[in-house]
Structure 1
Amino acid sequence: MSETTKTLCPYCGVGCGLEVSPPAQPGKPINRDAQGTPIWKVQGDKSHPSSQGMVCVKGATIAESLHKDRLLYPMVRNSLDEPFKRVSWNEAFNRIVDRINQVAATQGPNAICMYGSGQFQTQDYYIAQKLLKGCLGTNNFDANSRLCMSSAVAGYIQSFGADGPPCCYDDLELTDCALLIGTNTAECHPIIFNRLRKYHKKNPNVKLIVVDPRHTATAEAADLHLAIKPGTDIDLLNGMAYLLLRWGYINSEFIDECTVNFPAFAEVINHYPPEAVAQTCGISQTDLETAARYWGESGQVLSLWSMGMNQSSEGTAKVRSLINLHLMTGQIGKPGAGPFSLTGQPNAMGGREAGGLSHLLPGYRVVKNEVHRREIEEFWGLTPGKIPSTPGMTAWDMITGLETGDVGVLWVAATNPAVSMPDLERTKAALKRSPFTIYQDAYYPTETAAYAHVLLPAAQWGEKTGTMTNSERVVTLCSAFKPPVGEAKADWEIFAEVGRRLGFVKEFTFSNSAQVYAEFVEITKGRPCDQSGISHEKLTEKGPIQWPCSETLDVTVTSLQDSKRLYTNGRFHTPDGRARFGAYHSRGLAEPPDPSYPFVLTTGRLYGHWHTQTRTGRIPKITQMHPEPFIEIHPRDAISLGMIEGEWIEVRSRRGKARFPVKITKGISPGTVFVPMHWGALWAEQSEANALTHPESCPDSLQPELKACAVNLMPISAKSMATEEIQKSKVTHIFSSPVSV
């Protein structure tokens, strides 16, 4: 086989198109890694509309991880202190089905939970919803998107009546002013940033504002960097709104005809005069006024945000406060303008479309809406009332449900909660108490595998065919180019087989992912995320397609252009067609610093790594780029602590502790420290960022405030370091129980 396969990068939500070629090409030597293993060639797809041929280091090296440390066969054990033994798929399925039936009979279906992932393909998401919310009658499906994008979802729904980013990547090259807040786009969404940066350099009149407590690579490119104190985002946004209103930079016609609740919003922002806001945020009043003037004087204003806004106990309020600025100035529904959330994961958008959170249903429907439930029940052929009227357990609810005994089956797939969840020691203790955990992944070992009773080998990127939707609502077909390793199966195939063995045979008659997608798009017909005009066949023929794309439209250049932006006519998905202003006062951090814990810890990603290193930690080029975790400390704080570069420091919160080598930099604000979130116990035993974080969450989105917690810092003596032998490299002790094959 020498032909090239078009697919999508399986890392962040940018959704970069890739072209993959076999290791052996006619007339060329076989491409091999350092160990001699043939490696598929990966390069950017120049025809992909989103990435235009660009690719970052993660996408360029993705093929190097395909063969490493793979989970090849189903494995089981009766208790966590026993070794795993290899079993057949039949035995694994029987064990799972027997336990689900037992728990459903004794505790009820609400004791069954599944925790999924934005790395699923849409087909995986959809079949999981049909199995859990439909056939089993529990809404206990949540995904790691709860930790990522649920505040953006809630903000869009409350402001516009439906989820869905209204912008597109072309707007990056059409805007007059871009406000980036709570996003280190240069490292976390590099291809988007490359497009914006090139445009910015060519057009000096275009303004770039970056809001971040750190002086990141993103902030380095800004015309104005606002290094606000953590937790003061709403103060800043309301302060900008105050000035825009005072200076008359508002679109009264748009406000009157297209929105409601402006008077309540105007009353709130009246309490945010510039002198008070500047002091609260820790910035100059001049810089605050400059930001507001940049916004007010620009014809097209685009805002971009990600985890720094979403991962907050007031995440939804932050998102809506940013959207308020667009509504008051009419900066939405036109080229170069609008509020644009940057999705963290490759298919978190597809998951939202498929109903992949515990309060959602497929087709941008919500569990609490009786009409929405009835539509799904009728479509799936369910008895009326089968879908519960209340949202299921969120990811954190599942952890507390393990503590109370309310969870009898926990099924985790394509995610690693033993590293990524907040309050990690509490999370691990709860996972140890689980009576039955199924863990479905492509790799072994991972940190979560240590807490599983059943391991299921999943096919990963390149080994299964399905669709993913990126941040700009573009759907791409990700075609398999190699068979799964060992006995691995696609996630949706595993879910469907369990469904059939539970007795739901007619509900899961699919023989391939194209059939799954064909059923899914039918359920989106007439909905805000209408994809009824998209199919595997059309994606193969015409390439990536952006929604909305109904079955009545031909997939032509014209229809694609029409779908680029939402709300171009000023009408929204609310009952009266008007967008809603949200009136929010700032509440600040859920856990502010105090004399006992005087520093604010914030966490984030690095350019090369992805999530918990399950994939990137096995790629030499990336591990050489980021060999170990670290903590960023301002020089002033380092002096007060007596710290020098490279020394180790212990960070303590009210929940746990971790240790990191010190990196002294003026790029972090005094009183704030930063650590990357990628390292779990498998990679750096005592440097787990989430051992420190807390689970306090936004009341609307239920997204935890992973971005900020109060900590203290304690230098570690050389003697203590020598005695305790701080681990800097890969550790294996918690995975040391042998595997019986």
Structure 2
Amino acid sequence: MTDSSIKTQCPYCGVGCGLEVSPPAAPGKAVNRDSQGNPVWKVKGDRHHPSSQGMVCVKGATVAESIDRDRLRYPMLRESLDQPFRRASWDEALDLIANRLKTVCDESGANATCMYGSGQMQTEEYYVAQKLLKGCLGTNNFDSNSRLCMSSAVAGYVQSLGSDGPPCCYEDLDLTDCAFIIGSNTAECHPIVFNRLQKHHKRNHHVKLIVVDPRRTPTAEVADLHLAIQPGTDIDLLNGIGYLLLQWGEIDRSFIDECTSKFSDFAEVVQHYPPQEVAKRCGISAKEVELAARYWSESKRVLSLWSQGVNQSSEGTAKVCSLINLHLLTGQIGKPGCGPFSLTGQPNAMGGREVGGLAHLLPGYRSVSNAQHRQELEHLWQLPPGQISPSPGRTAWDIIRGLETGEVQFLWVVATNPAVSLPDLERVKAALAKSPFTVCQDAYYPTETTAYAHVLLPAAQWGEKTGVMTNSERVVTLCSAFRSPVGEAKPDWEIISQVARRIGFGNKFAFTSSAQVYAEYVQVTRDRPCDMTGLSHERLLADGPTQWPCPDRGNASPKRLYTDLRFPTADGRAKFSACHSQGLAEPADPEYPFVLTTGRLYGHWHTQTRTGRIDKIKQMHPEPFMEIHPRDARTLGIEDNQWVEVRSRRGIAQFPAKITSAIAPNTVFVPMHWGYLWADKSEANALTHPKSCPHSLQPELKACAVQIVPLAVKSTDERRLSVLQNS
């Protein structure tokens, strides 16, 4: 344990705020303890961090309070799911995993094994996992919960610009003339980004803020224009704006001619989206469509920001490309204050993308389908030619289907909670229950997923291990350990490396520190769009957070990508996409007349594995709820706070109703954080479906058709009594 303050990064959202952490007691002072008697480290914003400039939200400010709560302290094993766990040594647990892994590979092939990771993993941990599975074992069956989060952004950037990687930086929040936020409740989900943008908006009266969201969120409440479109009509709106920009001649013809391709295809498609038709489909007025286009056309620097409301869709990639189309149409990219800026959902989802942490990717922004990329990695990893499979591995949902069919024989879950976060939860739970062998590697116990594990491995968490994370603006931060791991917990990179050594790959996993892992990793980024060969733990410790590209030779790279207006495509041009709107994969109908949308709350994070154990946050958000418009509530005879049952074609969930005009009619909203450990029968993903985007394979977690039935109980206390009587 250190006696001085340590600088690190917040382990929650992709904003990647810098934190400064101090010991529980200053010299000569009493130890600061929480309500359970655990020492609590003091956390404040790091004023010198370039991304957050000292700001911090409630999650970051309270994160240290969860470190010692309900920790998994030592390995545990059981033969079957109906048996209790027993304590085991690390040697016993790791030998069991290694032997089982070898047996499955020998008898069923490497493709019968899968690892499901998380944007909570540090870059070094992601890297050793890719090297083990995709390199040494020869299976691309590594996917992560970024599949549920940002894979549509990845696919959209690649299709339109030639490579993943947000081209913008947070400085653009201070320079833009018009911020266009679509599918993001930025004020709650990325609060420090929004605080910075809001300050700029307030100081400069000419700056416009457009928010596109079916709900009047805290983000929308301060907008100059709130477009409360119907769920699933994003492309209609974006194409409608494109139609008007073309009609008015408000385009950058020289940029289009010299720097883009496929413009004529795009121009033909948007001719089908005049304002009146778009207004009808979106459920807004033609004047609102025209005003949005006018704001865009009159702004020299348009910055678009989006998150899950765009990505989590059966046409998520098309939505991303349709938004980028508008930037290409007006030349709004590669310059200060403008560009398409994906707000990453998790603290190291960007790092995971850089290191190949999805089933179709390889480290260094490479693709498994690209023969040259595979050969480069085989050379760097000293593997025989052809060792890396050319076939994309199983996505998150493909893993579930593989468990159902028996094709997946070995599942390793790291730092995530799929028994709450995946869609169609009853089907997911049934599949997990069929798994012949599941390893769950986590810092906390219990989680909803540990109920389906045969082996539990205690992982060191934030503050107990040193490693690197990359935030939404491509800033890399060294997250230094400031205390020892709880119990027998180990860093994820070390656990994975120890298994790799036990199955015969010791010479490739002879790492003794995460710094060594990172030093090897950055070499695989050489001459790639995400070149980080100039970075090391030592440099990041000395110089502080650093943005990539950061090669080890040449001049310093600009803060923004594509400043030379050349793109990493075959012809150096960005590409327009011709995308027609397809709408929701499961629209409302007479039997299921409402569209359910889901999302996050300000204080909570994902499935509450960490925030659910923090007293202040539990008081902020004590229970889940369902937002419903007053008109719909009157029609159904629902009173405020009355419990209702929400039913979809896949499952049911129960919530107290929150009647509010902040949501559009025929649409209801529930937060996605509650699994069965935190509330009874209130799992949002019991309702959602797994239909996904054909390009990103990201499920449409943001929308499904539901029916709503009022329950007789009209208070939380009555419902709790009813649950107890029926249990």
TM range (shorter): over 0.9
Tell me how far 1:718 sits from its aligned partner.
Answer: 2.8
Contact 2:641–2:715 at 8 Å: present in 1 too?
A: no
The correspondence of residues 112-511 of structure 1 with structure 2, limited to 5 A, is 112-511=113-512
Cα distance in 2 for partners of 1:574, 1:200 equals 35
Structure 2 Cα separation of the partners of residues 666 and 380 of structure 1 = 57
1:2 Cα deviation after fit: 2.7
Give deviations 1:196-229, integer Å, cap 9, x for gaps: 0001000010000000000000000100000000
* Contact 2:335 2:563 (8 Å CA) reproduced: yes
Change in 2 beyond 3 A, CA 1:289/1:460: same
* Equivalent in the alignment of 1:613: 608
Q: Deviations over 1:558-598 (max 9, x none)?
A: x2xx4310001110000110001000000000000000000
How far apart are the structure 2 equivalents of 1:543 and 1:721?
Answer: 49
- Aligned CA distance change for structure 1 residues 721 and 169 (closer, same or farther; 3 Å): closer
Q: Which residue of 1 aligns with 2:564?
A: 569
Shift of residue 331 of structure 1?
0.1
Aligned to 2:39: 38
Amino acid at match of 1:670: P
Aligned counterpart in structure 2 of residue 634 of structure 1, from 629, 633, 653: 629
Mapped partners of 1:334, 1:728: distance in 2: 58
What SS does the aligned partner of 1:718 have?
coil
**Higher deviation after alignment, 711-720 or 509-518:** 711-720
C-alpha contact 1:628 1:728 (8 A) present in aligned 2: no
- In the TM superposition, what is the alpha-carbon distance from 1:495 to its structure 2 partner? 0.5
Residue 682 of structure 2 corresponds to residue 687 of structure 1:
yes
Distance 2:237 2:719 in 1: 44
Provide the residue aligned with 2:98 in structure 1.
97
Match of 1:703 in 2: 698
Deviations along 1:58-88, one digit per CA (max 9) or x if unpaired, are: 0000000000000000000000000000000
- 2:656 touches 2:716 (CA, 8 Å); kept in 1? no
CA distance in 1, matches of 2:577, 2:180: 19
Report which stretch shifted further, 52-61 or 719-728.
719-728
Q: Is the 8 A contact 1:685 1:727 kept in 2?
A: no
State the secondary structure of the residue aligned to 1:651: strand
| Cα distance between partner residues in 1 of 2:717 and 2:558 | 61
* Aligned counterparts of 2:659 and 2:717: Cα–Cα separation in 1: 23
8 Å contact kept, 2:419–2:429: yes
CA offsets per residue over residues 329-358 of structure 1, 9 Å max, x none? 000000000000000000000000000000
Instruction: Tell me the secondary structure at the aligned position of residue 44 of structure 2.
Output: strand
CA distance, structure 1, for counterparts of residue 203 and residue 639 of structure 2: 41
Q: What's the counterpart of residue 73 of structure 2? A: 72
1:150, 1:701 within 8 Å by CA — same for their partners in 2? Answer: yes
For 2:32 and 2:498, the matched residues in 1 are separated by: 37
Q: Which AA in structure 2 matches 1:707?
A: K
Instruction: Report the 3-state secondary structure (helix = DSSP H, G, I; strand = E; otherwise coil) of the residue aligned with 1:302.
Output: strand
CA displacement at 1:322 relative to structure 2:
0.0
Q: What is the total number of aligned residue pairs between the two structures? A: 724
- Superposition deviation, residue 31 in structure 1: 1.4
After TM superposition, the structure 1 stretch with the greater mean CA deviation from structure 2, 476-485 or 98-107, is: 98-107
Partner of 2:542: 541
Whole-Å Cα distance in 2 between the matches of residues 571 and 709 of structure 1?
A: 40
- Distance (whole Å) between structure 2 residues aligned to residue 691 and residue 34 of structure 1: 34
Q: Equivalent pairs: percent with the same residue?
A: 71
Per the TM alignment, residue 724 of structure 1 is displaced from its structure 2 partner at its CA by 7.2
- Secondary structure at the aligned position of 2:595 is classed as strand
- Which residue does 1:552 correspond to in 2? 553
Contact 2:608-2:673 within 8 A present in 1 as well: yes
Please report how far the alpha carbon of residue 446 of structure 1 lies from its aligned counterpart in structure 2 after TM superposition: 0.3
Assess if the C-alpha contact under 8 Å between 1:134 and 1:382 holds in 2: yes
Distance 1:502 1:228, change over 3 A: same
Which whole-Å CA distance do the structure 1 matches of 2:128 and 2:99 have between them?
A: 20
Aligned to 2:30: 29
Partner residue of 1:587 out of 576, 582, 588:
582
Corresponding residue SS for 1:426: helix
- 1:720: how far off? 12
Instruction: Write the letter of the residue equivalent to 2:36.
Output: Q
Name the amino acid aligned to 1:466: G
Q: Contact 2:19/2:45 (CA < 8 Å) preserved in 1?
A: yes
1:737 matched to which residue of 2? none
1:685 positional shift: 1.9
TM-score scaled by length of structure 1: 0.97
**Helix, strand or coil at the partner of 1:225:** strand
Structure 1 residues 727 and 137, CA gap change in structure 2 (3 angstroms): farther
Aligned residue identity for 2:224: D
CA distance in 1, matches of 2:103, 2:298: 64
How far apart in 2 are the matches of 1:459 and 1:139?
Answer: 26
Give the conservation status (yes or no) of the 8 Å contact 2:639–2:657.
yes
> What letter corresponds to residue 31 of structure 2 in structure 1?
I
Summarize the alignment of residues 638-649 of structure 1 with structure 2, pairs less than 5 Å apart: 638-649=633-644
Summarize deviations over 1:206-258 as a string: whole Å, max 9, x none: 00000000000000010000000000000000000000000011000000000
Q: What displacement does 1:137 show?
A: 0.6
1:603-657 deviation per Cα after TM superposition (whole angstroms, max 9, x unaligned): 0000000000000000000000000000000000000010111100000000000
Give a deviation string over 1:670-709, Cα, whole Å, max 9, x none: 0000000000010012000000000000000000000000
Paired with 2:252 and 2:174, the residues of 1 have a C-alpha distance of: 23
What one-letter code is carried by the residue in structure 1 that aligns with 2:705? A
Aligned residues of 1:546 and 1:563 also touching (Cα < 8 A): no
Q: Does 1:667 align with 2:662?
A: yes
Alignment RMSD: 1.3
- The structural deviation recorded for 1:29 is 3.1
Tell me how far 1:553 sits from its aligned partner: 4.4
Please state how far the C-alpha of 1:35 moved relative to its aligned partner.
Answer: 2.4
Distance 1:711 1:564 in 2: 45
Shift of 1:727: 8.2
Q: Which amino acid aligns with 1:625?
A: M
Instruction: Write the distance in 1 (CA, Å) between the matches of 2:153 and 2:279.
Output: 26
Give, as a single letter, the amino acid of the residue that structure 2 aligns with 1:128.
Answer: A
SS of equivalent residue, structure 1 residue 374: helix
The answer (yes or no) to whether the contact 1:347–1:468 under 8 Å persists in 2 is yes
Q: Is the CA contact (8 Å cut-off) linking 2:642 and 2:714 kept in structure 1? A: no
Could you list the runs of 4 or more consecutive aligned residues of structure 1 that deviate by over 6 angstroms after TM superposition? Answer: 719-724, 726-729
**Does the CA contact (< 8 Å) of 2:642 and 2:715 recur in 1?**
no
Residue identity matched to 1:301: V
Is the contact between residue 419 and residue 680 of structure 1 (CA under 8 Å) also seen in structure 2? yes
The one-letter amino acid of 1:405's match is G
Report the alpha carbon displacement of residue 105 of structure 1 after superposing the two structures with TM.
Answer: 1.1
Q: Which residue of 2 aligns with 1:84?
A: 85
- Deviation string 1:383-433 (CA, Å, 9 cap, x unpaired) is 111111010000000000000000000000000000000000000000000
CA distance in 2, matches of 1:728, 1:349: 42
Report the counterpart of residue 658 of structure 1 in structure 2: 653
Q: Is the 8 A contact 2:643 2:714 kept in 1?
A: no
Tell me the equivalent position of 2:710.
715
1:599 alignment partner, one of 569, 587, 594: 594
Residues in 2 aligned to 1:521 and 1:188: alpha-carbon distance in whole angstroms: 30
CA contact (8 A) 2:424 2:687 kept: yes
C-alpha separation in 1, matches of 2:722 and 2:703:
25
**How far did 1:26 drift?**
2.0
Cα 1:226–1:728 change in 2 (3 A) is farther
Q: Is this contact kept in 2: 1:686–1:727, CA < 8 A?
A: no
Tell me the residue number matched to 2:56. Answer: 55
Shift in Å at residue 38 of structure 1? 1.4
Q: Tell me which residue corresponds to 1:739.
A: none
Q: Which runs of 5+ in 2 are unaligned?
A: none
Asked if the contact 2:641/2:714 (under 8 Å) is kept, the reply is: no
